[in-house]
Amino acid sequence: MRIGNVKLENNVFLAPMAGVTDLAFRILCKEMGAGLVVSEMVSSKGIYYKDPGTKTLLQVNPKERPIAIQIFGSDPEIMANIVEEYLNPREDIDIIDINMGCPAPKIVKNGDGSALMKDIILARKILREVVKVSNKPVTLKIRMGWDHDNINGVDLAKIAEEEGISALTVHARTRDMFYSGEADWNFIKKVKESVTIPVIGNGDIFEPEDGVRMFELTNCDAIAIGRGSQGNPWIFKRIINLMTGKEDILPSPEEIVRMCIKHLNLVCSIKGERVGVREMRKHTAWYLKGLRNSNEVKNLIYTIDNKEEMERILLEYIGLYS
């Protein structure tokens, strides 16, 4: 499939997740078949005011392309300015995604993220200004609406299409649901029936069968997987294999631990050992989730701040340490 002029190998994508979809994790998901990977959300003001932390978030690697960088904010001028000044010259970035779905109070209180679903006029202005200046396809990520009394995702989807957005990701929850309750896949179907731009369905894909079901039920053009990929980069290839009649590649406990160690080494090589080991604590807990007798190891990992030690504990756990 294509998003604007960007050709994608398949339609099973990684959804953006702050604190999760950093460069290391994106590379692993790409290797495991993701058709598109998306960065953590990046503050447009952070880029504008040259916040040093923002620079790390914008780091990409040729291996993970095509890559979408997701930005958030609510000042159309600042958003257009950073696209023109900082993102347009970046030839290593393929797509710009705009976040109008984040429910976090600290984001919403500034009028950013899903708060824009309460201000459709401002939302339209942002889309118009960013599309006008961008030299890359611009995509948008939305929810169903602010709450069940204000379901306006279809209206915003139509506005997005009118303003030249190249694809739309629909997280089928309202803002006030945050991440709980069931995603309403029928809503994705409704959006798909209302616009002609590609619609990317999102919410509650945890098993390969869920991915196939979402395609069937909603007729969406692509799917995006968030939490189902945590500690589980195999999900992309497993869905593709299921869709194309190829054999499943359910990983063994040893393969899972080996992937975790690969992830550890990759993140440490990018962010340094101190940060890398700390960030790997949550990833390790996700990798080991559901594996036999893993609770003790998970607890132990949280006390470790040394890469070799973490690797040793993991190898010991699967009986491979000698």
Ligand X SMILES: Cc1cc2nc3c(=O)[nH]c(=O)nc-3n(C[C@H](O)[C@H](O)[C@H](O)COP(=O)(O)O)c2cc1C
Residues with active-site annotation: 102
The distance between the two most distant Cα atoms of the chain, rounded to a whole number of Å, is: 63
Measured from the CB atom, is 97 or 311 closer to ligand X? 97
Nearer residue to ligand X within complex by CB, 205 or 267: 205
Contact with ligand X (CB under 6 A) among 35, 201, 208, 226: 226
Residue placing its CB nearer to ligand X in the complex, 49 or 179: 179
| Residue 90: other Cβ atoms inside 10 A | 14
- Contacting residue, 17, 27, 117, 188, with ligand X by CB under 6 A: 17
Cβ-based burial of 207 (10 A; exposed 0-12, middle 13-18, buried ≥19) = middle
102 makes contact with ligand X (CB under 6 A): yes
Q: Does 228 bind ligand X (CB under 6 A)?
A: yes
Residues 262, 314: contact at Cβ < 8 Å? no
Give the Cα separation of 151 and 38 in Å (integer): 26
Q: Taking CB under 6 A as the rule, does residue 69 contact ligand X?
A: no
Binding status of residue 202 toward ligand X by CB under 6 A: yes
Contact between residue 38 and residue 265 where contact means Cβ atoms under 8 Å apart: no
Question: β-pairing, 138-145 with 12-14?
Answer: unpaired
The footprint of ligand X on residues 153-182 (CB under 6 A) is 171, 179
Using the rule CB under 6 A, which residue among 46, 101, 137, 211 binds ligand X? 101
Per the DSSP assignment, residues forming a β-bridge with 169 are: 141, 200
Residue 174 in 3-state DSSP? strand
**Cβ closest to ligand X, residue 211 vs residue 307:** 211
275: CB partners within 8 A, 6+ apart: none
- Using rule CB under 6 A, residue 19 touches ligand X: yes
Say which residue the tokens 């470790």 belong to: 304
Q: Within 233-272, which residues bind ligand X (CB under 6 A)?
A: none
Q: What one-character DSSP code corresponds to residue 6?
A: E
Residue among 203, 231, 233, 276 that touches ligand X (CB under 6 A): 203
Helix (H, G, I), strand (E, B), or coil: what is residue 124? helix
- Cβ proximity to ligand X: between 230 and 294 the closer is 230
Number of residues this chain uses to bind ligand X (CB under 6 A): 23
Of 57-65, 98-106, 269-277, 281-289, the window that binds ligand X (rule: CB under 6 A) is: 98-106
What is the contact surface with ligand X in residues (CB under 6 A)? 15-20, 40-41, 70, 99, 101-102, 141, 171, 179, 202-205, 225-228
